[in-house]
Structure 1
């Protein structure tokens, strides 16, 4: 007889393996977007996802992918919930996720800035430390565009090896 705990572990394992649609080298678990997987008394699998930022266009795809994978695994009732509190932070990217980003030529984010509760202060000048090149390891890099293929990434160039690379922004 299959126990509820066994089914919950199986559902969680399946949801943890779903790749991110924008960064397919990462799973939603690597990215820290998969917040929770639970099982209701009627057997519904409930997965909670937190968007990387408000209005993230990949959320619809993430929800559909998690639901499809769970249904393909035999879970008949699946519910995907968007979890907005607490908001996602790039600090939730796992060490494995950071390693995978670097292996694919994308610089992982540094620590997210600490923001106290209340109004967000306006900062007019750059305060970000240099980004290390994921290809050669040099810190002699420069930002070439604040936006890349997705809003959560920026374009950078290494002055040492002259290679361009993407950088996941701290949020």
Structure 2
């Protein structure tokens, strides 16, 4: 099962589910605040607006950026922002491993995009699209730093894909 595609554009296939989770948690918090406030007799229009604003802020925090890629580019569309880079003109890449593993890509025009590594590892078609651009950057000689990080990430993704094939076939 791959990432959703439309006219050569590949999207993060897990984003709709993460949007639903973020909206559900935000709505649950809003409902709990309303019920609690109404239970103590203090729910007023001003407080209702305050709780609604707090819930909206929680939604902004919980909903991750929607990542999409096409030939030579990758973009992250947040609720409040949009960032993109030309993957065929990358100058730097960094994979920061850890609890919240992130991939930072920078292009020759000064564009920067910061993506959760799990988005790339969980969407092989998305990664393949990005990897094509990375190969072009390497061939042009523009990618000066981070090539080793991207190779390690590619090995990690390939290992995960192979593990998935083995599990699906009952060999693991």
Q: TM-score, normalised by structure 1?
A: 0.26
Higher helix share: 2
Structure with greater Cα Rg: 2
Answer 1 or 2: higher relative contact order, Cα 8 Å, separation at least 6: 2
Q: TM-score, normalised by structure 2?
A: 0.26
